[in-house]
Amino acid sequence: MILEHRGARPVVHPTAYVAPTAVLAGDVEVGPECRILFGAVVTADGGPVRLADHVVVMENAVLRGTARNPLRIGAYSLVGPHASVSGAEIETETFLATGCSVFNGARIGAGSEVRINGCVHLRTVLPPGSTVPIGWVAVGDPARILPPDRHEEIWAVQRELDFPGYVFGVDRDAPDAMRRMIGRYSRALGEHRTDRAPEDWDDRAES
């Protein structure tokens, strides 16, 4: 399904393939020979998504561009089933395995691997050729790559990266922080109510 969102329409190269149950919404560009498989969602929620050539997005992956951090994925990269990638810079020939998570502002260097259920946290920078092992966590700039049972070490870095402040502009310690974060997110996502399928398009997005 191809949807106009916020007045922008996805652009798909004629050599690319988008499965009939995949969703592309808004300012999304899909490059030559890309493959977007069944159930995948690629959405420009305030910021663009750019897929270079030969990017493979597997079943049920979610890719999201944000106002602060567009999403860019370099050529000959793979995003595995059920992976989640939001507002990140992914360089060429990168392998993001099944179930991995990459958060806003992250940068992953060329030829890197984030293996099954690995996590690259907010604003984390992985140099080229890095590997995040199965279920491990990369956090910080420069990245520290740690097993999940070392939570206190992860949190010591993660807290300073300030997810609530960076993504939502909300003070983590405010008593109503969760209400404010979800309220803002709900309002932003509510803009999808006015998305339009091709049969409803007119010339407004092109004028």
**Which CATH number do you get for residue 134?**
2.160.10.10
- Residue 201's pLDDT band, with cuts at 50, 70 and 90, is confident
Mean pLDDT confidence for 127-132: 97
Mean pLDDT confidence for 194-201: 89
- Residue 203's pLDDT band, with cuts at 50, 70 and 90, is low
- Residue 202's pLDDT band, with cuts at 50, 70 and 90, is confident
Torsion of CA 32, 47, 9, 101, to 10 degrees: 60
Identify residue 167 by its one-letter amino acid code. Answer: V
* Pick from 68, 93, 69, 65: nearest CA to 79: 93
Helices (H), the chain: 151-161, 163, 177-189
Show the domain range for 9: 2-206
Task: Give residue 207's pLDDT.
Answer: 39
Q: Is the pLDDT of residue 150 over 90?
A: yes
Nearest-angstrom CA–CA distance, 146 and 22? 34
Domain count, the chain: 1
User: How does the average pLDDT of the chain come out, rounded?
Assistant: 94
Percent of all residues in the chain with a pLDDT value above 70, rounded to a whole number: 98
